[in-house]
Amino acid sequence: MLGAGVFAVFAPAAASAGSALLLALALAGFVAYCNAAASAQLAAVYPESGATYVYGRKRLGPWWGFTAGWGFVVGKTASCAAMAMTFAGYAVPGYQRPAAVAAVLALTAVNYRGITRTALLTRILLAAVLAVLGIVIAVCLANPDPAGLTESWLEHGVFGVLQAAGLLFFAFAGYARIATLGEEVRDPRRTIPRAIFAALGTALLIYLLVGVALLLVLGPDRLAAAGAPLADALTAAGLPGLAPLARVGAAAASLGALLALLAGVGRTALAMARNRDLPGGLAAVHPRFAVPHRAEWLVAALVCGLVLVADLREVIGFSSFGVLVYYAIANASAWTQPAADRRWPRWLNVAGLAGCLLLAATLPLPAVLAGLGVFAVGLAGRAVALTRR
């Protein structure tokens, strides 16, 4: 969870909710917890690759499974674009689009050779991100302007808070991966819930501290306009010499997250292609490197297209829309499970489903319209393919 999102998402959230982005953050965290609980419950019964794509097919039917898989692929493709743009915005301001495209192509080439993010690299990246965030929080809290926490709380209303929560949901991406380990851990009924709660609680606490720190130094209006919020906060706090540190941390976190996610999207596309929910050619696996090379290069091309035509707020909104639909289906699937397979009460699934749909509906209108259009294209394409078969 502590990746590109924490460096990028506070600016668009502040534009939607002002200082009330802190309330929006708590709401996004609660919806994320509901979704992770549903995923954990399902993963214990269906320990297969594909996650909600599989759960939807098993519990609700092939069409729902396809919708979930399609939502994941398009949403996470947009996430890749957001991560590439975050990297470029911090590392090479002024040349964001070409730098973002170069990063996508370079990391796709790395993935092509079967090189993915290792546990050691994950620990190194996490340590670097935590160090940068700790410095930003400490510097900002030492140079506060309390007015930043009180401005704009009521200006944007309930709708603004909901929209900001939908955008902030992007920063929680990754929490449900714990759930996929249901068959690989000791005492999963005890371990998985504790791990999910600990991960989400820790990330939420860090995000709240970062949000407070940015508001105290930049205020909601300057935060909304910031191109590199954490670096800008260090400069505004009177320590511009530390701004490059934030830029290096953001670049490392973004590239690490992008490397992992490019591989994940390609493998979900592989699973869908094997079930003939995507063109069969995408199921090709490289004979030497054992990776879904066609799927990965197609994903890279789509990510580069988004980088060239959209801005950061648009791709974050579009990503959140696709992933919220994906988790809405996860909650619906978990709700149908019998009592013997349940680990959480059904009301949590209802809350998660309602929360996902509400946040998706209140995202910026261009993101909602684009998301609905892409889902319509995917569903129509599947209908045509089934008819031709």
pLDDT tens sequence across 207-247? 999 999 999 999 999 999 998 899 999 999 888 999 999 99
pLDDT at 182: 56
pLDDT at 14: 93
Whole-angstrom CA distances from 146 to 82, 210, 216, 244 are 31, 15, 6, 26
Any idea what the CATH number is for the domain that residue 352 is in? 1.20.1740.10
Q: Select from 253, 353, 369 the least CA-distant residue to 318.
A: 369
Place of tokens 């089934």: 386
pLDDT at 103: 93
Neighbours of 279 (CB within 10 A): 15
Task: State the residue range of the domain holding 224.
Answer: 4-388
Q: Select from 162, 125, 208, 218 the least CA-distant residue to 368.
A: 162
The structure tokens listed for 154 are 């009521």
pLDDT at 121: 76
How far is it, in rounded angstroms, from Cα 281 to Cα 298?
11
pLDDT at 100: 95
The structure tokens listed for 133 are 């965030």
pLDDT at 9: 92
pLDDT at 214: 94
How many structural domains compose the chain?
1
Task: Tell me which amino acid residue 196 is.
Answer: I
pLDDT at 188: 67
Judge contact between 39 and 330, C-beta under 8 A. Answer: yes
pLDDT at 128: 87
The stretches in the chain having pLDDT less than 50 are none
Place of tokens 């609680």: 201
pLDDT at 145: 78
Place of tokens 């050691």: 120
pTM score above 0.85: yes
How far is it, in rounded angstroms, from Cα 254 to Cα 11?
16
316 HSE (CA, 13 A, CB side): 27
